[in-house]
Every structure is written in structure tokens, then in C-alpha cells.
A and B are shown apart, each in its own frame.
Chain A
Amino acid sequence: MASINTNIKHYPGFLAVTVFCLFLLYAPLLVVMVYSFNDSLSIVKWEGFSLRWYHDVFNGKETAKYKTAAWNSISIAVMAATAATIIATLAALGMNRSAQWRGKSASFALINLPLMVPEIVTAVATLIFFSAIGFKTGYTSILIAHIVFCIPFAYLPISARLQGIESSYEQAAMDLYATRTQAFTKVLMPLMMPGIISGYLLAFIISLDDFIITNFVKGAGIETLPTAIFGAVKQGIKPNIMAISTLMLLVSVLFVCISYMVGRSGSPTSQNSE
């Protein structure tokens, strides 16, 4: 066992640090999940298991408000993720399947910049932009803002996938009489699909739970789920918020799992491993 000393497991205190970190990360989530089943109005005192807050979410007096907010969130997330994925796919093709062109590295930076810029700055800038051009804030302004900030999140997995696909596949397709379009739809696109799906799911999740930018550009009279929850919390935390949070968490986890499994399946280069 020559590797015994390099195995990180054997550093003293490794286990304790790991458990502590995991506790910090997940204990709050766990509390929210557990208390969403609490049969009480209190958010700190456990009074037995119940599904009353889930019932309240779907049949309570605030149901209409949350239903509208949820519908806004989901419809915006679907459209924003779709648009961002299409744009990101085209961007990835342009960046990976072209000879060097002027401004290529600048474009790469530009595509990924939104990841680095503090979200609050983007939020303020977007709001100023909308008001400067006289764009009415509301559903459409949220959608446009979401499309924009989702692009880099969709771009990263798509581009990573495309980089792993050798251009000889497209050459082989065209060598076998495929047109440029056929080479794309029949060979390149199916090979890119895991990256595209990952990118889509990531963009969807990012859009679904965005708060800061949405809050700035939404204007009055429209809520998405995160802004609705924030609004409700300002008047004191009620257990139904925990139920909604738990449901959102569930959706997020589901999407991340799908994204992970799709990303792992069928690497295009596996047959050429030398």
C-alpha cells in the first residue's frame, strides 16, 4: 500500500472537517424540510407530523397568489432556458468550429462575463437599461433578462461537450455524401445532445430560482415564486413557505440529477480511447 500516505482520508481531522462542512451546508435545508411537515403554526416547535401546510399551499387562501407566481416562474424558466440554449448552442458552434477570427477570445470573455459580474450590478444595469429605452417592466422584461443571464450557464456544458467531439466526425459524415446541414443534424447534434440537455436544465434551474435580477426588473403587479416567497417572508415566516421551499428544492434536485445522468452517458470519444 504505497499510496496510503497520499490518500486524503488519512489526514488527521479530515472526517471531522468533512462532517462539519456538510452539516453547515445541509442542516438548514434539512430543518426547512422537516418543519414543512410540522403540525403547528410555530416554525421552531415540533408538534407532530402533518401534511396540513402542503394542503394549505394547494388549497389555502394564498393558493391563487402562489399558483400565479409558480406559473410565471415555470413559463419564464421554460422559455428563457429554450432561448438561452439555442443561443448558447450557436455560440458554442461559432467558438469551437471556426478558424481563429478577430475578437474570438474577446467573444469568449463576453459570453462568460455574466458569471463573473456581481448579480446586483447586472440587476441595476438591466433596470436602468429598460427604463432608458422606455421598456415597460413586467413579464416580458423578466423573460428578456432571464434569457440573457442564462446564456453563459447553458453555454458552459454545451461548449465542454462540443470540445470533446473531434471534427473528424463531421468530416466523415460529409465524406459520406452528407450536406453540411445533414452532418449537423445527423451526426454533430446527436453527439452534442447530452451537453445541450445539461445546458438546458442548468439554465432552467438558474432561471427558476433567480431572485435579485427578477426583483429589480419585474415592476409592480407581477411575482415569480422567489419574489412571492420573499414578499411573504417579510411579513413573518409561515410554515407554508417551508412547504413551498421544499417543493422547489425537490424540483431543483430532480433537474440536477437528470442533468448529471445525461452528462455522464455516452461520451463521444470513448471509442477512441488510446
Chain B
Amino acid sequence: MSIAVAVDQLSKHYADVIALNNVSLSINDQEFFTLLGPSGCGKTTLLRVIAGFESVSSGSVHLHGKPIANLPANKRSVNTVFQHYSLFPHMSVADNIKFGMQMKGSTASHIESRCKQMLELVQLGEFANRKPAQLSGGQQQRVALARALAPEPELLLLDEPLSALDLKLRQAMRLELKQIQQETGITFIFVTHDQEEALTMSDRIAVMSNGEVQQIGDAHTIYEQPRNRFVADFIGEINMLDCEVLSSSASTDTQYTVACDITGLAQLTANADQSVTPGTQGSLCIRPERLQLLAADHPDAKLLGTVDQLVYLGTDTQTTVVLNNGIKLLVRSSNNATQHIVAQSGEKIGIGIDTMAARFLDN
């Protein structure tokens, strides 16, 4: 697999703000790559740097081996789907789609056939002569996608393109975007703050915060093996229990098993990416669905507590349990399990832990 985009030690400073701090990442050809993070984390700045709307302070960007960091936007084979689409309001849908090809100097016959092909791809054939203002939000979004794909860029950038749509449409567009990406085989870089969007569509995700990449990996890795507390906390829900490391040993070539002492409660084991010195303070992190409600006297019950609150979520029930040291734990149990415990508020309860899914992260 060849590399489409290589970002190397990229930094971007505004007057006194560091928007990007020494970012390095590489994106494979035909990959659906997502930049995920809270607002202000630098994801949009990174996208705009790759698009050519922002200059870099230091570092380099290569597109299929060619350095592009100092090329103007119109000299890069990169197109963007803007957050608010920015369709040209004075042009018809077809003219919007043709614009990039015309500026590039494609032949008239190619432009016509490619425009028709793009309209079919986004299922807007009968809207070719409408003005953007006459279309719904979802249709405008598709025109923006068709307009950006029409000139056959080497790379497509999408800046939170779904954020202006309502929930149902957004969910449908996720699948459609993914499908179009696979059909066209163009590398996508998708920017979002919505973790669900990132998890559903991406081949790989880069989680960013404070202008730095925190972790890069596929959805499974990011969710199951967060590298630090920020990633663990930002993606989904997670319980974090303060603990001290007692010992650690290698379980495989890359994984270590760490024995932790949850202060005053219990001793548990967790996974870690590296060996940890005994005495290190950190957190034992575990997802709510990896915890299990058990009877208080059940032999597998590793922790004891009192049921505080029950929230019925349809597929799941979320239970808040207050441990004996006052810490609250979230437990999520599937509602289809036949033997699951129906807890009552105020009831003493035991909690079972899938220790294979527990992770030790230092502070």
C-alpha cells in the first residue's frame, strides 16, 4: 500500500497560539482517514494546511511524494467539501460541478460526461439546472461532494460536512459517504468532533487535542486500547479508578499485564502497552459494558458497592454504582441477557470485571 499523504513534523503558530505542534502522520492511498477531536484541537487547521488555505510555520506535507506545503491551493490536486458547502449561489448545480474541471482546463466533452456521471453518483440527475438555494440541506451536501470529486483529485478533504444535517440524514449520509469513497477509490480526510461518525466511517482515526496527535489507529484500537487518558475519556464512556502498580510482567511481545492496587478496595490486573515500574500511580480504565452486575456474595464479584441510579436506554440499562470508597462506577448491561440482574436502587451489589478489557494508563 502506497502512502498518499505524509505530514512530517508540522507546526503552525498564530501570533501567540500554537495550533499545530509537531504533527506527523501518514495516510495510505484509498484510505478513509478521520481527524477527530474537540473544537480547538487543531484538526481543522491541519485540514486547511493540507488544502492550502493556511501556510505552515515549520514541517512538510507530501502528496504522493511531492512536497505541497508551499503550493497555493489552486496548484494542489486536493479538493475540499466545506462545512457550509459554499456552493456558488449564482450558478446552477451542474455549473457548480463543472467549475473545477473548467478551471483545470479539461475538454468540454469530458466536462459534460463527467458532470453527468457525478450527478448520477450523488443521485441528483434531475436537479442539474436548479440553483443551490432551491435544494434541501442534504442535497446541497451532495452537490458539494460531487463538485469536489468531479476534477478527480488525488485527495478529498471533508470539513465536518455532516454537522449541518439533522440526525436521520446524517446517519444515512455516513453510509453513503463511505460507499462513495469505496466506489471512487479516492483518499478521504474527514474532520469531525463526532466520535460516532469517526467510528462508523473511518479506516483509521487520528485523535487530536491541543494541536497534537494523541493516537492513530482503527476504530477498534482507539476504543479498546486507548493510549492515554485523553483518548480513553474522549472516545465513549470509561470508568477510571485511581490505583498504584504492584508489579508488571510481559504477557505477549507487545502487551504487559499489570497488577494494580485500587486503593483500599481490591487488587486487579490490567493490560498496558509497556512495562510499568511498581509504585507508579495511574488509573485502571474500563468501559461500562465490560463490567457486570453480580450478587454481592457471588464468587466473581471483584468490587462491592451500592446501586445509585438506573437509566433505561432501550438496548442497554446503565447502572451507577457507588463503591465503598465513594467512587461512582458506570455499568452498562445489555437488556437481552436472560440472566442479568435487575438491580434496585439502594441495593448492595457486586461487580464482575472482564480483566482482559481493563487497561492501565499512567497519569
The distance in angstroms between the C-alpha atoms of A7 and B82, with both chains bound, is: 42
B257 on interface, CB distance cutoff 8 Å:
no
Size of interface on B: residues with Cβ below 8 Å to A: 28
A176 on interface, CB distance cutoff 8 Å:
yes
Partner of A266 from B74, B89, B100 at Cβ < 8 Å: B89
B40 on interface, CB distance cutoff 8 Å:
no
| Chain B positions 202 through 223: 1 when the CB is less than 8 Å from some CB of chain A, otherwise 0 | 0000000000000000000000
Closest approach, in angstroms, between the C-beta of B349 and any C-beta of chain A? 46
Given contacts A271-B132, A271-B133, contact A175 B79 (CB under 8 A): yes
Closest approach, in angstroms, between the C-beta of B19 and any C-beta of chain A? 16
The distance in angstroms between the C-alpha atoms of A266 and B84, with both chains bound, is: 18
Point out the residues of chain B lying under 8 angstroms from A186, CB to CB.
99
| Chain B positions 74 through 88: 1 when the CB is less than 8 Å from some CB of chain A, otherwise 0 | 100011101011111
Q: Are A172 and B82 in contact (CB under 8 A)?
A: yes
Point out the residues of chain A lying under 8 angstroms from B147, CB to CB.
176
Closest approach, in angstroms, between the C-beta of A83 and any C-beta of chain B? 26
Partner of B99 from A166, A173, A191, A271 at Cβ < 8 Å: A173
The distance in angstroms between the C-alpha atoms of A271 and B84, with both chains bound, is: 9
The distance in angstroms between the C-alpha atoms of A191 and B78, with both chains bound, is: 25
Point out the residues of chain B lying under 8 angstroms from A187, CB to CB.
88
Point out the residues of chain A lying under 8 angstroms from B85, CB to CB.
271-272
Partner of A171 from B86, B104, B140, B151 at Cβ < 8 Å: B86
Partner of A169 from B52, B86, B148, B151 at Cβ < 8 Å: B86
The distance in angstroms between the C-alpha atoms of A268 and B84, with both chains bound, is: 13
Q: Are B90 and A271 in contact (CB under 8 A)?
A: no
Partner of B88 from A169, A174, A175 at Cβ < 8 Å: A169
**Chain A residue with minimal CB distance to B80?**
A175
Q: Are B74 and A168 in contact (CB under 8 A)?
A: no
Point out the residues of chain A lying under 8 angstroms from B356, CB to CB.
none
The distance in angstroms between the C-alpha atoms of A274 and B78, with both chains bound, is: 28
**Chain A residue with minimal CB distance to B144?**
A172
A178 on interface, CB distance cutoff 8 Å:
yes
B72 on interface, CB distance cutoff 8 Å:
yes
B246 on interface, CB distance cutoff 8 Å:
no
A270 on interface, CB distance cutoff 8 Å:
yes
Given contacts A166-B86, A190-B90, contact A176 B132 (CB under 8 A): no
Interface centre among A168, A176, A177, A274 (most CB of B within 10 A): A176
A179 on interface, CB distance cutoff 8 Å:
yes
**Chain A residue with minimal CB distance to B159?**
A168
Interface centre among A175, A177, A266 (most CB of B within 10 A): A175
Residues of A within 8 A of B (CB): 166, 168-169, 171-179, 182, 186-187, 190-191, 266, 268, 270-272, 274
Interchain residue pairs A-B with the least CB separation, the first 8: A176-B100, A177-B103, A168-B86, A172-B86, A271-B133, A178-B103, A174-B73, A190-B90
